[in-house]
Structures are given as structure tokens and as C-alpha cells.
Structure 1
């Protein structure tokens, strides 16, 4: 199981960031390659100000990274943060009883 005291905050922030459909679309686009804001705006058909808000949320959750190249900022996935979320869910799958409820015998 995940043990660090910082992990619950990371997990909560990660799932919060993934709870919005537009942010999921951003994640889907970044799966394939690094993209600049202008490319994301064009593909998602949203304004830069709206996109910037959602990218900030994803970045604060640690799910995306940004890198400035000249006057453009390029975004990519930070896969290590997805591993933390995946491990959190895997622990539930591994340690949860999916079988029918057990009957206690006394």
C-alpha cells in the first residue's frame, strides 16, 4: 500500500484534476506527444484563458509538465504521477474482496 504522508494530498489533487471532462481531453491529447498551448487551443476549440486555467490545475496536481521553448510553452504528461494514482487504485483491487460477502460463523 502507498505509505507517504504526502501521498493522500497527491492522490486527492490528481483525482480532482481528472474530474473535469476538458482536463481529460487535454490528458488524452498529451498521451501522444508534447503540445504547445496554441496546438491544444486549436484541437480543443477553447480559448487560451480557459485552457490556461485547466492546465494550471493539471500542473498543480503534478500530472503535466511545462517547458518554455522560445515564446511558447509546451506541455507533456508527468507519467510518474499517474503511476501514483494507478498504484492507489491497484491496492484497492488487490486487497478488496470482490467475492460475495463472507458469512461469520460463531
Structure 2
């Protein structure tokens, strides 16, 4: 982060903010297995479709997922798989600090 201008730091902070919500992390983890539509994700997350749609919109806004319309359904998939390396590193650090 050395030398990043304030505008870039704000974008980095927004990216981490998106990842700081458990349901969004769960959605990313589900999409890691392959593309899904909103209904499938809602059932898997035990959330409403509206709630999942809001999370997906935010994930898409930050370039983490990509939406593809097919007929009346929209399917989502991971757009930036590098997020998993970041999540695995953080999860490893958090797990190492337990107990």
C-alpha cells in the first residue's frame, strides 16, 4: 500500500468492505463450485432472493462476480478468482490465532 494515492486507498477499503460480510463470502464460496442463479444461491444461503440479489449486485460492482442473462434467469459466476487466494490467506491467519 506504500505510495498509493488516497483515491486508490478508498477503492482498496471498499473492496475489503465487500468481503467483510459473511453472506457475501458464502456466496463466493458457493460460486467457486460453479455458476448458479439467484434462486439456487438463496436456497443454499437460507436467504431471500432479494437479499442475495443485493449482495450479488455489490459483488458485481466490485468485479468479483459476472452476471449472464439466459432467458428469464440470470446466472452468476466468479469474475476474479484471485479473491480466493486472499480469502485463504486471511482464513489461515485467523485459524492460526484461535485458542
TM score, norm. by length of structure 1: 0.66
Change in 2 beyond 3 A, CA 1:32/1:12: same
Shift in Å, 1:32: 0.9
Map of 1:63 onto structure 2 = 64
Change in 2 beyond 3 A, CA 1:80/1:28: closer
Residues 1-12 of structure 1: pairs in structure 2 closer than 5 A: 7-12=8-13
Change in 2 beyond 3 A, CA 1:41/1:23: same
Change in 2 beyond 3 A, CA 1:81/1:3: farther
Change in 2 beyond 3 A, CA 1:4/1:77: farther
> How large is the Cα RMSD of the aligned pairs?
2.7
Map of 1:13 onto structure 2 = 14
Change in 2 beyond 3 A, CA 1:47/1:9: same
More relative contact order, 1 or 2 (CA 8 Å, 6+ apart): 1
Identify the structure with the greater helix proportion: 2
TM score, norm. by length of structure 2: 0.71
Map of 1:39 onto structure 2 = 40
- 1:18–1:24 Cα contact (<8 Å) kept: yes
Q: How many residues align?
A: 86
- 2:67–2:77 Cα contact (<8 Å) kept: yes
